[in-house]
A and B are shown apart, each in its own frame.
Chain A
Amino acid sequence: MLKDITLGQYFPGNTPAHRLDPRTKLLAVVFYIVAVFSCHSAWAYILTALVLALSARVSKVGARALFRGLKPVLFIIAFTALLNLFYTPGEELARLWLLRVTREGVWTAAAMMTRITLLITGTFLLTYTTSPIQLTDGLEALLGPLKRLRVPVHELAMMMSIALRFIPTLIEETDKIMSAQKARGADFESGGLARRARALIPLLVPLFVSAFRRADELATAMECRCYHGGEGRTKLHVLRFAARDYLALLFYLALAAGIIVFD
């Protein structure tokens, strides 16, 4: 049951999108987000949606996989849409007791829904085509200049990759401990809120204990291999921009600039 959680799941593949430098993809997503936030007219939304569809096509990510990421935020999308639908002042279209639906409200609700959907599916496309390791590598490289300001960029990136690496392990562990406590009659599914919260103690204590134990073991293992932080550390896979990277960057930059200027 817990295994169904997709948290930035990576789909291995060998499409042009997979081969792009992770820095390119991170920047492209930033440009794309800027573009989505600068949209005002319906034409701009259609254009950004088309760009997303094209990117998904190039990445060979199916529509179903793309929209699966929306499930957890469906509630937020619906909530935002409803609020906008009923609380935007303007020309009245219909009236339901105290609630007024306005022409402006319909438009804002539709625009907000499209915006959130595009934002989320856009970022999901990044995690679908970029492995967590590549992602942190790219982030580390992009944040590199901050090292001058004494920001521990390498350490942060390392922490991020370790955290990502251990998510599946912890989920598996949670499943196991849950089964073991259920075998002793623990009940996680019934009772009120307070009771359910209390029922989590037998799950959380062992989980924390084992997480700390794992962290300790990992630290020892890293030290045994002479890990000493980012100073003077070289990379096995050095990131290099290729022509396609410049092309992709130019494309998304043009999209963002175009929408800002013309819309």
Chain B
Amino acid sequence: MDEIIRVENLTHTYGAGTPFCRSALEHLELSVYRGELLGVIGHTGSGKSTLIQHLNGLLRPTEGRVLLDGRDIWAEPKKIRSVRFRVGLVFQYPEYQLFEETVYKDIAFGPTNMGLGGEELDRRVRDAARFAGLDESLLNVSPFALSGGQKRRAAIAGVIAMEPEVLVLDEPSAGLDPRGREELLAHIRAYHRERGTTVVLVSHSMEEVARHAERIVVLSHGRVLMSGTPREVFSRGGELAEAGLDVPQATRVAMALREKGLAVDPAVYTVEELADALLALKRGGGG
């Protein structure tokens, strides 16, 4: 498969040379393949946020390299801004970055910084709003008049409007109600499908990553603990628990049933799959 981002031997130390020095990442290796929807999970403090800030050059590696399309992003430090347009990063609680008079202008901030204007800018703003699930009628409203969920979408649209090759989202659904979560993630997934953009979804929620990601990377203590398809990862529930992570609820039910001697596949990870597995079991067992 074609690698779009390759992280090699990445180490990051905060406050090097002071008594407060602390390593957030240690010799981390990671590949992001073109066009995939990658889920990154890890416990609080596992280095997720530090890692993603390296992907667009907000942080500079203490050691190691980040390659974008095979080129070291720090090869020319003066051109680091162009990397930020190619790898769009949506921070946790991105609604706090809104500042313009209207939602339209705020979404246009990124593309304007790229030097765009005119029709192309207008198209990008409207497309981005649509992908983020923001109604056209809200574009001329002040961002501070929006509801919490709408603000979040406006902020995400502001990054999508740069049309990055890789879209990185840090806990995009944090603090939303269950329905808002599902809707937002469905929009992100639709964007990924329609545009074929590579998406990196960072989360601490197993459920969320299990439902949406095609491939999962598990971080623990600044290293990659394991990676693979959701099925592969969740079949190693024991190791996940050791890293302080939970398997999805459906997987937990399946594992418990298996312990009771029922022949349920222990690697199911969505409620739908579990339901199918149980129905199959019932039919197979003759009711």
**A residues at B contact (CB < 8 Å):** 173, 176-177, 179-187, 201-202, 205-206, 209-210
Contacts and interface: CB of A to CB of B under 8 A. Distances in A.
A153 B97 CA distance: 37
Contacts of B91: 176, 179-180, 183
A180 B162 contact: no
B94 A180 contact: yes
Interface stretch (B108-116, B187-195, B200-208, B211-219): B108-116
Contact of A206 (B96, B113, B159): B96
Nearest to A185: B113
Given A184-B109, A184-B159, A186-B113, A179 B99 contact: no
Interface in B79-122: 81, 84-85, 88-91, 94, 96-99, 109-110, 113-114
A210 B96 contact: yes
A177 B109 CA distance: 14
| Interface of A, helix, strand, loop or mixed by DSSP | helix
B198 interface: no
B144 interface: yes
A5 to B, nearest CB: 14
A152 B81 CA distance: 50
Contacts of A177: 96-97
| Interface of B, helix, strand, loop or mixed by DSSP | helix
Contact of A202 (B85, B94, B99): B99
A201 B114 contact: no
- 6 tightest Cβ-Cβ pairs between the two chains A and B: A185-B113, A205-B99, A184-B110, A180-B97, A183-B89, A180-B91
B97 A206 contact: yes
Contact of A181 (B53, B97, B162): B97
A173 B97 CA distance: 10
Contacts of B150: none
Contacts of B158: 184
Contacts of B85: 185
Contact of A187 (B56, B97, B113, B144): B113
Contact of A184 (B53, B144, B162): B162
B151 to A, nearest CB: 11
B99 A183 contact: no
Nearest to B98: A206
Nearest to A179: B58
Contacts of A184: 84, 97, 109-110, 113, 158-159, 162
